[in-house]
Amino acid sequence: MKRLKVRLVDVAREAGVSLATVDRTVNGRPGVREATAQRIWEAIRRMEATAELVRPRSPWRARLHFDVVLPAGPNTFMQNLQEALLAAGRSVSDQGITLQCHRIEGFNPGALAGTLTQLGQNSDGLVVAALDNPVVREAFNTLTDWGVPVVTLVCDLSNGRQIGYVGLDNRAAGRTAGYLMGRFASGREGSVVLIAGSIGLSYRDHQEREFGFRDALYEQFRGLQIVDRFEDQDDFERAYAQTNIILDRYPNVLGIYNVGAGNRGIGLALQERGLADRVIFVGHELTSFSRQFLIEGVMDAVINQDVAHEASESLRLLLEHHLRTPLSPPLGQPRVEVFVRENLP
């Protein structure tokens, strides 16, 4: 396949043909009439020549539209992330940049892949909280073939062709959670339960956090045994129900590690049972709910990531991909932040 300097979707629009026809032509596959193929290659040459003339001028000459795809549901962290991304988009709106957020059903690879393919036909770049799934990976690769850059945010995708990942080192975040659990246990031995978004660990960040947590306990705190793991689909009501099951099944549970969202439900269940001062509770993301739980002593520690940092870095990666020139120094990956009651910002 010839490496093009323009997007296939723009070529299709310029030549007045379907995206599939352009794809077949540039990849040398049969089924395209010679006259149509000639029209497509003429459009490509014309657009590439124009791109070369325009690029050295003002980088904001062409308007750019970016799309963000995040999981839907009552996930306060994702809402905070969406607000940070929209704010980042507004900061460059006067320079011809628009950004739109789309919330879709989480834990559904088919829905995510379909949304990406649909949005990619008219988008100049996507920022995606990715499910690590072959169907999603294929959608990423299709977008790359079309010339649409993709950035993974918070949740990375293995073996994909994204231009970058912005998010925590989740293995380190999980190890941090394990270390905190062990230190709060103060030498006590007992049972620990994990609550994750899904049993299948559709999100790679959840998977890496769990691996890191297990490694830290095994290496440093052998007296703490992980006796079970539950799923809450990142839903606080489901997390509330699962926590009550945990407390019934393991009345002497020493600690709960929440790998993903749902802190609100876990904290409420612990409060109602009067167990907030006995069960060690470590989770992720500083939200209005987890902040209050820290203040009240329901949560012992929160591992956080800076959403404003992540939003700015995601937008920077997309812009620099199009402009072919650095706009500002890279922010890099966000640091693993640990908050307890005494150091809340």
pLDDT tens, position by position, 151-200: 999 999 988 889 999 999 999 999 999 999 999 999 999 999 999 987 55
Q: What is the pLDDT of residue 330?
A: 78
Give me the architecture of the 64-167+307-334 domain, per CATH.
Answer: 3-Layer(aba) Sandwich (3.40)
Domain-wise residue ranges, the chain: 8-54, 64-167+307-334, 170-304
Give the residue ranges of the chain where pLDDT is below 70. 1-5, 49-62, 199-202, 327
Instruction: Give, in words, the CATH class of 170-304.
Output: alpha beta
- Residue in 180, 161, 250, 178 with CA at minimum distance from that of residue 215: 178
The yes-or-no answer to whether 8-54 and 170-304 have a common fold is no
Compute φ and ψ for 303, nearest 5 degrees: -100, 120
CA angle at 83 for the pair 82 and 88, rounded to the nearest 5°: 95
Is the pTM here over 0.95, yes or no? no
Q: What is the pLDDT of residue 200?
A: 55
**Which pair of structure tokens corresponds to residue 65?**
């539209």
Compute φ and ψ for 201, nearest 5 degrees: 50, 55
Task: Output the CATH code of domain 8-54.
Answer: 1.10.260.40
Burial label for 199, CB within 10 Å (0-12, 13-18, 19+), is exposed
